[in-house]
Structure 1
Amino acid sequence: MAEQVRAIRTRQAILSAAAKIFEERGFQASTISEILTEAGVTKGALYFHFQSKDELAQGVLAAQNQNLVLPERASKVQEIVDIVMLHTYRLQTDPMVRAGVRLTMDQLAHGLDRSGPFRSWAAPVRERLEKARAQGELLPHVVPTETADVIVGSYAGIQSMSQALSDYRDLTGRVTTLLRHLMPSIAQSSVLASLDMSESRAASIYAEAVRGSQELAGLKEAAVAAG
């Protein structure tokens, strides 16, 4: 058990170091040597967990998808707003998420498959759009697959602009503005009237998601203990 815990901690230390180096230098310019120095581990320890720089990058990309439980809402359009706001908060506060986004947007990362995050970002948005359409929340012209890609693509551009101009300090304001422009072309006016797209939504939905995740983890532990 102790060895397993050490292995988990070592892997996390390597991922954290890789995230820092990838975010600072980009995929192409980063080296295994720099990551080893930052992590404070041996080459053997690193290669036990990751066989290459590409595998390290994929590990960082996967690690940004932290399992946080978003609360269900009667309005599925509100859930879409909450997905965007949750990612916004994490992008401003979580180095692993920032590094994952940097890698995803890095057009110089030749040979690195950057498609996974775009698909994983679009999938939950598309699912909510389909449910929102079934509930009559959307305007007639909305096609969930197309609209999900528009939301994800627009967000990718806005976060990239925010990173360049303010190192994400103004991201919440920019995202709120983006939503105020996008949602009237997607949702029925009756739905728009009740949407919370305020800047404070980002922090509050994160706190709510963390509580939900902790409660779920507690239920799982209790179920395991009950046998």
Structure 2
Amino acid sequence: MRTRHAILMAAAELFDERGYDSASTTDILARAGLTRGALYHHFASKEAIALALMSVHVEALQVTEQPVKLQSLIDLTLTFARRLQSDPALRASVRLSVEQSSFTKYRTGYDQSVEVIRAVLQQAEERGELLPGVDIEEATLFIVGAYTGVQTMAQAYSNRTDLVDRVGSLWRFVLPGLATPGLMSRLRTTPPVAAAA
């Protein structure tokens, strides 16, 4: 397990720093301090390593239960943003999703995000939290696309140091077109105090 973890962390760091195509298995082994035999005992190829890293994306998309489903969705994105700031494996999975490279499974991260966000928005709709006429599919794709853009800009401009603030701004602009007016004052677009600490 330690060897597998070392391979995944070395690959995550390299994919995050250089991208998929620029990180070779030789580079991964050098970073991990392991032999080629150790790598092939756990992974058949560099693509297999990348696919294993994509599972981190799934794990990071865990929704915390809140009485208001839209708050659960906001908190999911804020928690994801906070984790992106410190977790090279999650950053690598995001780069694998966003970057156009020879890694052909890149849509996996988007598909996972779309599935989770759609489900939470459907629950919010069932509870009467959404404005009448909100198209769940359109809202889902917009949120995933806007979040991707916000995190890409934060990476380019501040190495994600301001990502949580940017995600809060995103929600302050999106919520008036999504949430019922009576709900707006109850929604928080900053991390909970415990999470921020």
- The TM tier, using the shorter chain, reads over 0.9
Q: State the alpha-carbon separation in 1 of the partners of residues 195 and 42 from structure 2.
A: 34
Query: Which residue of structure 2 lines up, in the alignment, with residue 151 of structure 1?
Result: 143
Decide which of 160, 165, 168 is 2:160's aligned counterpart: 168
When the two structures are superposed, what TM-score results if normalisation uses the length of structure 2? 0.94
Match of residue 44 from structure 2 = 51
Contact 2:64–2:76, Cα closer than 8 Å, also in 1: no
Q: Which moved more, 1:36-45 or 1:56-65?
A: 56-65
How far 1:43 sits from its partner (Å)? 0.5
Number of aligned positions between the proteins:
197
Distance 1:68 1:37, change over 3 A: same
Q: Deviations over 1:8-38 (max 9, x none)?
A: 1111110000001111111111101000011
What's the secondary structure of 2:115's corresponding residue? helix
Q: Secondary structure at the match of 2:59?
A: coil
Match of 2:102 among 103, 110, 121: 110
Structure 1 residue 67: deviation in Å? 6.2
- What is the DSSP-based 3-state SS (H/G/I as helix, E as strand, rest coil) of the residue aligned with 1:149? helix
> Who is 2:74 aligned against?
81
What is the identity, as a one-letter code, of the residue corresponding to 2:166?
Answer: R
CA separation of 1:69/1:165 partners in 2, compared to 1, >3 Å: closer, same or farther? Answer: closer
CA contact (8 A) 1:86 1:206 kept: no
* Structure number with bigger Rg: 1
Distance 1:135 1:205 in 2: 26
Distance in 2, matches of 1:64 and 1:204, equals 23
Identity %: 37
Report which of the two has the higher share of helix. 1
- 1:204 deviation in Å? 3.3
Summarize the alignment of residues 8-23 of structure 1 with structure 2, pairs less than 5 Å apart: 8-23=1-16
Corresponding residue SS for 2:2: helix
SS of the equivalent of 1:41 reads coil
**Which of the numbers 180, 186, 200 marks the counterpart of 2:172?**
180
**Retained in 1: the 8 A contact 2:61–2:113?**
no
Cα distance in 1, alignment partners of residues 23 and 62 from structure 2:
33
Relative distance call for 1:28 and 1:69 in structure 2 (3 A) is closer
Residue 63 of structure 1: how far off its partner (Å): 2.5
In structure 2, the CA distance between the partners of 1:160 and 1:22, relative to structure 1 (3 Å rule), is same
- Report the counterpart of residue 53 of structure 2 in structure 1: 60
160, 176, 184: which one pairs with 1:192? 184
Residues 20 and 103, structure 2, Cα contact 8 Å, conserved in 1: no
Query: Can you give the 5+ residue segments of structure 2 that lack an aligned partner in the other structure?
Result: none
Q: Deviations over 1:99-158 (max 9, x none)?
A: 111111112x12421111111112121111111111111011212222111111100000
Instruction: Indicate yes or no: 2:127 matched with 1:131.
Output: no
Matched, 1:204 2:194: yes
Aligned partners of 1:68 and 1:149: how far apart in 2?
16
Q: Corresponding residue for 1:71? A: 64
What SS is found at the alignment partner of 2:139?
A: helix
| 1:91 equivalent among 72, 84, 90 | 84
Supply the AA of the counterpart residue of 1:110: S
